[in-house]
Homo-oligomer: A and B are copies of this chain.
Amino acid sequence: MATQQEISAFLAKEFPQSKCVIESIGDCTSVVSHAVGFDELRPGGTVSGPVLMALADVALYTAVLGKLGLVALAVTSNLSINFLRKPSADKAIVAHCKLIKVGRTLVMGEVMLYSRGDEKPVAHVMGTYALPAKT
């Protein structure tokens, strides 16, 4: 319903501070990445949890936009993250999102987060978006 270019432009306006990069969009899916540098790291060389949460939120939003079009008013109602493994300090984080329910008022999706190139996920996120009532 919305192309990768349209969504990238839309997000650049909605989340001007975000460094997330949309890598691909499919039917109910998205792949979004986030570079890792000084701002994303905590002492000990791990990627900060809020960076992972923010990336997962953008990946979910991107998949929603890809499926439903540029619904500016979709809002996150729940986001639940399980931290699985310590991410690499020198690799980007890549989020693979899949929507598992697209209803009239709620959309639910899950996101697996990886350090780029690694097979084992660093975190899993389940999210719910509420859609504005149709008028």
Contacts and interface: CB of A to CB of B under 8 A. Distances in A.
A80 B82 CA distance: 9
A67 B48 CA distance: 23
Copies of the polypeptide in the assembly:
4
A106 B50 CA distance: 20
Interface in A106-127: 106, 108, 110, 121, 124, 126
Given A82-B108, A133-B104, A14 B43 contact: yes
A2 interface: no
Nearest to A54: B50
Contacts of A5: none
A117 B84 CA distance: 32
A84 B48 CA distance: 25
Nearest to A75: B83
Contacts of A75: 83
